[in-house]
């Protein structure tokens, strides 16, 4: 999810993402000792074989041959891709099998990139390697979320077609995310354990970010559209934030290539003790080296200078640090060991500057929300719903509709006015321009940089 420069909240406290017991961890602890059906079947088979051996006794005489133990039959996978014990062996289409059934606690590792220059020693330093091993629990949560993101987006990339409504596309992605996390989010508190990390952004053409359809939206994806697909997955508040761009006309290829290359440049330059302003300069240089020709006019791809990457804390999508995508930043903030960052870049054929426009759909409760007296009754009840179902995770109006809330706009606007909830309107460049986005979540581990959301697609 994008950080808009003018909307950054200052003074946000850092959250220690390696400590604290959560509902998700308690649930794991309660279920870890439950025996599986497969173990029970194996015990029964052993008992039957032992009985057969006992029945062949000395009374039959030495002349009689002892019965041979029959080899066990291998359990065959079921037609639906499950074993006899009920554990899935492959993902369904559309994706509905929780990834916890596809992997045994250990989830695929993202792309590991060794540190360079002054940090090269971290790769082999035993102290740093020990610190890295101590972080395995929350690493597995990040990797589980990343694997869900890869499986959901790869299905979406194959199945999103012109003619679909944006609501159909958003629900395709969100239904897959909820199914693969195993948390539908309809029971109070369920979405806080795991599920959708923030609303699915489906921003078209000159709209760069923060657009998702509200109820009744009938907007249809067209052949000539350029659509940014930005969605998040979280496990125990460890948010994986990744985005890509879809276009169906090859004339936009260079625009997409410029932004993808710029994002990879940002990832390559990122590291412990690196100044974020230096990353922005490298991103800008890469992006502006590309040209795109539209309607007979050739122009350099411009980075959108007031959109940034950002660090991510547990249950907090914008952690307080920004990663600019232009080189004129005076921000000398450095990246630090153990931090998680969303490295994202935006390119435009327009002015390279965005502003608020259109109907708001994205909201989030502020981490440092003020305690103020709410005089609107609907605002009090709505705040209770938001706190118990989303906490400080971003949400949209469709998610409130899904929970059965209605006539909530007055209360929602009151919470925004009070500073308790932040509204994130769509961000647009000039009409007639086209924008693209690519984004990955990276983790600065003590001994290596891991691009958590990296896949075969981007």
Residue 318: active-site member: yes
Residues 269-301 as b or e (16 or more Cβ within 10 Å = b): bbbbebebbbbbbbbbebbbebebebeeeeeeb
Q: By C-alpha distance, which of 13, 458, 25 is closest to 242?
A: 458
| Active-site residue, selected from the candidate residues 141, 147, 422, 439 | 439
439 included as an active-site residue: yes
Catalytic residue among 149, 210, 318, 362: 318
Which DSSP state fits 428?
A: E
Helical packing angle, 377-389 and 409-417, nearest 10°? 80
Contact 243, 152 (CB under 8 A): no
| Best CA proximity match to 197, nearest among 10, 364, 439, 360 | 364
The residue written with tokens 């925004």 in the block is: 416
One-character DSSP codes across 164-233: -BHHHHHHHHHHHHHHHHT--S-STTHHHHEEEEEEEEEEETTEEE---PPTT---B--TT-EEEEEEEE
Q: Is 450 a catalytic residue?
A: no
Of 141, 230, 269, 429, the active-site residue reads 230
Q: Which of 344, 422, 429, 450 is catalytic?
A: 344
Are 123 and 114 spatial neighbours (Cβ–Cβ below 8 Å)? yes
Q: Which DSSP category does 114 fall into? A: -
Which residue is catalytic, options 183, 310, 362, 440?
310
Query: Of residues 241, 261, 422, 450, which has the active-site annotation?
Result: 241
Instruction: Say whether 230 is catalytic.
Output: yes
Question: How remote is the C-alpha of 433 from its chain's centroid?
Answer: 28
Active site residues: 230, 241, 310, 318, 344, 439
């Amino acid at each position: 999810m994008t950080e808009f420069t003018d909307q950054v909240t200052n003074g946000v406290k850092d959250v220690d993402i390696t400590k604290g017991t959560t509902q998700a961890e308690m649930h794991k602890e309660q279920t870890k000792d439950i025996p599986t059906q497969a173990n029970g079947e194996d015990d029964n088979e052993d008992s039957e074989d032992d009985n057969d051996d006992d029945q062949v006794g000395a009374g039959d005489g030495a002349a009689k041959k002892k019965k041979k133990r029959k080899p066990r039959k291998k359990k065959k996978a079921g037609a639906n891709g499950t074993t006899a014990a009920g554990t899935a062996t492959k993902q369904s289409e559309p994706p509905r099998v929780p990834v916890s059934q596809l992997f045994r606690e250990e989830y695929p590792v993202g792309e590991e990139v060794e540190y360079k220059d002054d940090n090269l020693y971290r790769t082999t330093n035993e102290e740093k390697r020990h610190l890295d091993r101590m972080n395995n629990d929350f690493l597995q949560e990040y990797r589980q979320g990343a694997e869900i993101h890869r499986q959901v987006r790869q299905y979406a990339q194959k199945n999103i077609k012109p003619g679909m409504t944006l609501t159909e596309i958003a629900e395709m992605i969100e239904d897959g995310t909820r199914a693969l996390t195993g948390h539908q989010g309809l029971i109070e508190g369920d979405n806080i354990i795991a599920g959708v990390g923030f609303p699915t952004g489906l921003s078209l053409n000159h709209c760069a970010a923060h657009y998702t359809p509200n109820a009744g939206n009938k907007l249809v994806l067209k052949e000539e559209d350029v659509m940014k697909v930005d969605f998040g997955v979280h496990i125990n508040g460890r948010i994986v934030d990744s985005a890509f761009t879809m276009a169906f006309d090859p004339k936009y290829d260079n625009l997409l290539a410029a932004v993808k290359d710029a994002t990879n440049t940002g990832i390559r330059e990122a590291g412990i003790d690196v100044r974020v302003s230096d990353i922005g300069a490298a991103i800008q240089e890469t992006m502006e080296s590309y040209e795109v020709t539209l309607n007979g006019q050739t122009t350099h791809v411009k980075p959108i200078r007031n959109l940034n990457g950002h660090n991510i804390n547990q249950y907090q999508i914008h952690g307080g640090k920004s990663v600019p995508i232009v080189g004129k930043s005076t921000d000398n903030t450095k990246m630090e060991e153990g931090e998680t960052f969303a490295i994202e870049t935006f390119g435009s054929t327009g002015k390279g500057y965005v502003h608020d426009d259109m109907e708001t759909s994205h909201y989030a409760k502020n981490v440092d929300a003020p305690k103020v007296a709410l005089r609107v009754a609907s605002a009090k009840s709505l705040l209770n719903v938001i706190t118990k179902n989303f906490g400080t995770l971003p949400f949209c109006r469709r998610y409130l509709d899904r929970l059965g809330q209605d006539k909530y706009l007055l209360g929602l606007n009151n919470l925004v006015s009070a500073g308790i909830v932040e509204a994130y309107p769509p961000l647009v460049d000039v009409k007639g321009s086209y924008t693209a986005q690519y984004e990955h979540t990276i983790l600065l581990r003590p001994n290596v940089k891991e691009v958590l959301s990296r896949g075969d697609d981007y």
